[in-house]
Amino acid sequence: MTRIFVDADACPVKDEAVRVAERHGVKIFIVSNGGLRPNPHPLVENVIVPDGPDVADMWIAERAGLGDVVVTGDIPLAAKCIENDAQVIQHNGEVFTKSNIGNRLATRDLMTDLRAADPFRQGGGKPFSKADKSRFLDMLEREMQAAKRKQSR
């Protein structure tokens, strides 16, 4: 059965993901280190993992697989989930795939090196917009359909 896993710490589309889960009648796991208000929806399982680096990521990566959809902005987590044949989508609607994850990991590593070389380098991501939310909902719907097709084979 298809499931949705949400890497919930700092995820701006938790409520939208729950709406899609409800529309499809699938279980959704909201995984965090705590500090989030539990969602009482019957399809939601609120998973609180211990504090520690990448504990939530490990919990998701150990469980997500063929027929599942993962919502995360974490590129290494996305790579692990793709290895397990899960569909992976970012909160802005961009989809991680087997064909683009290598480039995304390389770019992430390059940017980490650049920031380390210049500690005064300022910057950050662009603000989350209504267009991002709309793109997310559209792409999550598409990824849910793809996950269900994969699982039914």
CATH of the domain at 22: 3.40.50
Instruction: Name the residue range of residue 137's domain.
Output: 3-152
What DSSP string describes 46-106? EEEPPSSTTHHHHHHHHH--TT-EEE-S-HHHHHHHHHTT-EEE-TTS-EE-TTTHHHHHH
- pLDDT tens digit sequence for 17-26: 999 999 999 9
- pLDDT tens digit sequence for 105-130: 766 666 666 667 777 766 666 788 89
Burial class (CB in 10 A: 0-12, 13-18, 19+), 102: exposed
Distances (CA, A) of 130 to 3, 6, 75, 136: 25, 19, 23, 10
Report DSSP state, residue 121: -
Question: How far apart are the C-alpha atoms of 66 and 50, rounded to whole Å?
Answer: 26
**Into how many domains does the chain fold?**
1
pLDDT the model gives residue 64: 97
On average, the pLDDT of the chain sits at 89
Q: Which residues pair with 3 in a beta bridge?
A: 27
Residue 65 has pLDDT above 90, yes or no: yes
125-140 as b/e: b if 16+ CB within 10 A: eeeeeeebbebbbebb
